[in-house]
């Protein structure tokens, strides 16, 4: 079932992504967000054949198996991201991120790279969603199509640092811990406080917490007289 949860989103991602990638920038974001809202309404209110998943199909509640399930999915996802970032495909994505037109002029097919990246992200997102179904003993089918999860993913990436593997991990830990602490101590205004902190991070730490840590480390290295140590070049970059 979890494998199907990864494959079906790939097919849907291709169906949506091929026409959607004709849009660029904010138009692409708005278009895909609007499509998610359309699916939310259709699945939740307009499709009577789809109902909430009964508890008996999800098994009994137990923390340990779920922990190892999520840990396994996380390790597989991080490992795949590590391999992809150091492949020619990953270098092509990095070039497109920096300057799409320049990458195209060098022979990198931006459209093909984007569609493949969308398919891969859809697979791992679907795989995670299949695991997440075991986290909820009762489940409403329209819930995954709402904007909350999409915003959470973007927020976590910006907080930790985009373009890195460790960034989303750090951002996820920071996001969950801080959100829960604020919800406990500042019940009525915790969302406002969190929103302000997020805006401050985006404005003053555009590279996220990972970049901030690197700047602090480099500052201490300069004070101690040690040379700045950069990231070693992966195969294909040198």
pTM, entire model: 0.72
Q: For residue range 162-171, what is the model confidence (pLDDT) as tens digits?
A: 888 899 999 9
Distance CA 210, CA 199 (A): 17
Q: Which residues contact 125 (CB under 8 A, 6 or more apart)?
A: 9
3-state helix, strand, coil in the chain (%, to 5): 75, 0, 25
Q: In whole angstroms, what is the distance from residue 84 CA to residue 93 CA?
A: 10
Contact 75, 69 (CB under 8 A): no
Above 70 in pLDDT, residue 59?
no
pLDDT tens for residues 139-157? 555 666 667 777 888 888 8
Angle between helices 190-204 and 147-160 (to 10 degrees): 50
Question: What are the helix (H) ranges across 86-146?
Answer: 88-98, 100-105, 110-132
pLDDT tens string 23-38: 777 777 777 777 777 7
Region for 173 from its dihedrals, namely left if φ exceeds 0, alpha if ψ lies in -120 to 50, beta otherwise: alpha
Percent with pLDDT over 90 in the chain: 6
State the Cα–Cα distance between residues 231 and 79, nearest whole angstrom. 18
């Amino acid at each position: 079932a979890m494998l199907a949860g990864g494959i079906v989103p790939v097919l849907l991602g291709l169906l949506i992504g091929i026409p959607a990638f004709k849009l660029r920038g904010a138009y692409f974001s708005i278009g895909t967000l609007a499509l998610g809202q359309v699916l939310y309404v259709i699945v939740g209110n307009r499709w009577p054949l789809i109902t909430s998943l009964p508890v008996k199909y999800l098994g009994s509640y137990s923390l340990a198996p779920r922990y190892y399930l999520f840990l396994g999915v996380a390790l597989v996802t991080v490992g795949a991201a590590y391999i992809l970032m150091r492949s020619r495909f990953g270098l092509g994505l990095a070039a497109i991120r920096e300057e799409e037109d320049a990458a195209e002029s060098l022979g990198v097919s931006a459209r093909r790279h984007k569609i493949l990246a969308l398919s891969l992200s859809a697979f791992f997102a679907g795989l995670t969603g299949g695991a997440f179904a075991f986290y909820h003993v009762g489940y409403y089918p329209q819930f995954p199509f709402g904007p909350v999860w999409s915003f959470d993913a973007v927020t976590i990436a910006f907080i930790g640092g985009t373009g890195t593997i460790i960034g989303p991990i750090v951002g996820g830990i920071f996001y969950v811990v801080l959100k829960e602490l604020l919800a406990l101590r500042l019940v009525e205004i915790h969302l406002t406080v969190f929103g302000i902190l997020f805006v401050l991070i985006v404005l003053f730490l555009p590279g996220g917490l990972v970049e901030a840590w690197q700047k602090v480390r480099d500052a201490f290295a300069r004070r101690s007289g040690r040379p700045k140590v950069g990231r070693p070049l992966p195969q294909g970059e040198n």
